[in-house]
Amino acid sequence: MRAVGVIPLLSSLTALGILAHLLLIHAAAGPEWMFVCALFAPRAVWLAPSLTCAAVSAWKRRWAWGATSLTLVAVVLGPLMGGMVPWRRLVDTRPTLGHEATMHVMTLNLGLDGVDTSKLTRLIEREHIDILLFQEGPPEGELLGYLKAHMHVASNGLVASRMPIESESPPLADNSTTERRYTGHLTRVRLKLPEGGTLAAASVHLPTLRQGFKALARGEAGVLTRHALWWESELDRVVETLREDAATPLIWGGDFNMPAEHPLLAGAAELWPNGFDQAGWGFGYTRPSDWPFARIDHILADPRYRFRSCRVGPDVGSDHLPVIAELEWVGR
């Protein structure tokens, strides 16, 4: 078969594959385990056949098929891979209520093997971080010493703030099961703002689906489905807990162990907008840190805050990359 004849076939098959992937993600078509696999699967792989078709089309001067292939590239980079342009931020015309209302927030899963403390502390100082939300850990040794010397630290070490901590809320009850479906973790504090008033800050760590994926590799798809449904129940528990104090502005974030397209996570973002959705550029991938392809770490905030920026930070030694957001208070 000549190269020119291959182009329509490869383009058509690629288009069908991309469409199926999009339907699994955004229409939740198919069984639960297939939906979860589609969420976590590396999506950039669809660039290879799309770019190949575009290159061969240009070489053979088949401009119509070249345009089709470039359209597929755009679909992959945009709707499929989640490429972001902060149009919401660009059209938000609410006035800022003063520089003192600006907040810099970072979330980071410290990982089981710890982080490079010198890199992390330099990042905190360079970005003028006001609120730190940690998962795993807790911070120990030199890092904990730095936090206690420069910030106010929650009793478990998972939230640190330049502002005084007025109070801490009780943790979630441990719901872990014998089937290695782990509990969600939530650390909540109330902070005293310099200009008066209070702000709630919370670090969340939702259950991993790792054991479900391992079971799927053994042919046990039902186990992955149960882990996915368990994750949903733990997110529901976190959201209901946070809604108990709706009057206090809230900034929360952490390792959600789930991409932003999940319907329940998208539902939470209707209550507390997701920073990267609002003000991020690019893809926002945070894990694994050496070759990230999954956007599972998020910062969300009360809609009375506007995200000025939200981006993925540099590698500081964890298997996750940090997420850094700048917010400003705009009121209602």
34: number of CA atoms within 13 Å, CB side? 11
Angle, alpha carbons 130-135-138 (nearest 5°) = 90
pLDDT of residue 170: 94
Residues 210-249: tens digit of each pLDDT: 999 999 999 999 999 999 999 999 999 999 999 998 899 9
Model pLDDT, residue 62: 86
What is the number of other CB atoms lying within 10 angstroms of the CB of residue 71?
14
- Residues of the chain falling short of pLDDT 50: 1
Q: Is the pTM of this model over 0.85?
A: yes
User: 103 near 130, Cβ under 8 Å?
Assistant: yes
CATH number of 87-329: 3.60.10.10
**In the prediction, which pLDDT does 8 show?**
85
User: What local confidence, expressed as pLDDT, does residue 3 receive?
Assistant: 53
% of the chain surpassing 70 pLDDT? 95
| The predicted structure's pLDDT at residue 1 | 47
Query: Per DSSP, what are the bridge partners of residue 198?
Result: 192
CA distance 126 to 4: 53
Kind and range of the H or E run holding 261 = none
DSSP class of 299: E
**Confidence at residue 98, expressed as pLDDT on a 0 to 100 scale:** 57
Give just the sign of the alpha carbon dihedral 93, 97, 100, 105.
negative
- Domain residue limits, the chain: 3-80, 87-329
Q: Beta partners for 188?
A: 202
- In angstroms and rounded to an integer, the radius of gyration of the C-alpha atoms of the chain is 22
